[in-house]
Amino acid sequence: MSKPRLKETYETKLKPALMQEFKMGNPMAVPEVKKIVVNVGIAEEQGQDKALENMRAQLAAITGQKPSDRKAKRSIAEFKIREGDVIGLKVTMRGRRMYQFLDKLISVVLPQIKDFGGVSGRGFDGRGNYTLGLREQIVFPELSYDTIDKIMGLQITVVTTAHDDKVARKLLELMGMPFAKE
């Protein structure tokens, strides 16, 4: 099997460019994308097993992996949540699947969003990780509008080996992440 397009580009073009720009002598010190985590909160779907299964199937279609359940750690009466209830779904991607997902996100999904002016640069956490939120899961080409019973938002976290946000942002920019002009 050949390498994903984005991985090949990273190794041949981006890694040398990052080494030169940040004056890194060791190629192992160059930051890279470590994993991508996709989260969906479904707390308002309590008691609706069909909606939960539907969202599980949609998330599996989007990522190519089976999502894991996120359960409530404690009961919260105001939100009608009991300890142990499933309140979210999570998928962690690494390796080949991660690069394929990131390539699809950058080149297919984000350009489809109506009135898209780029992703916010404020989604960095100070340690080189970037999180962006999407309001609708329908922007992914794997999903058909007929199969969706409810529009749900999802959060995508790109975890890098960079130690600060400046280097991580440059890495993502070189990979093609369309940051908004701020």
Task: Give the CATH fold of the 5-39+91-175 domain.
Answer: 50s Ribosomal Protein L5; Chain: A, (3.30.1440)
Query: Quick one: pLDDT at residue 44?
Result: 62
Query: Quick one: pLDDT at residue 47?
Result: 54
- Residue with token string 């995508």: 156
CA gap 173, 144 in Å, rounded: 30
Q: Output 148 or 91, whichever has higher pLDDT.
A: 91
62 near 75, Cβ under 8 Å?
Answer: no
Distances in Å between the Cα of 52 and the Cα atoms of 72, 96, 172 are 15, 27, 32
Q: Output 107 or 72, whichever has higher pLDDT.
A: 107
> Which helix (DSSP H) or strand (DSSP E) does residue 158 occupy?
strand 154-160
Indicate if the pLDDT at residue 92 is higher than 90: yes
Joined together, the tokens standing for residue 25 give 């002598």
For the segment 21-59, what is each residue's pLDDT rounded down to a tens digit?
Answer: 888 888 888 888 999 999 988 766 555 677 778 888 888
Query: Quick one: pLDDT at residue 93?
Result: 92
The domain locations on the chain are: 5-39+91-175
88 near 72, Cβ under 8 Å?
Answer: no
Question: Which DSSP state fits 19?
Answer: H
42 near 36, Cβ under 8 Å?
Answer: no
Q: Give percent above pLDDT 70 in the chain.
A: 93
Query: Quick one: pLDDT at residue 45?
Result: 53
178 near 105, Cβ under 8 Å?
Answer: no
For the segment 162-172, what is each residue's pLDDT rounded down to a tens digit?
Answer: 888 888 888 88
Q: Which of 46-60, 83-97, 118-132 has the lowest mean pLDDT?
A: 46-60
In three-state secondary structure terms, 71 is: strand
Q: Output 175 or 3, whichever has higher pLDDT.
A: 175
Let me know the angle formed at the C-alpha of 97 by 5 and 140, rounded to the nearest 5 degrees: 90
The residue ranges of DSSP E strands in 17-153, in sequence order, are 33-41, 68-71, 86-93, 130-134
Q: How many CB atoms lie within 10 A of CB 124?
A: 20
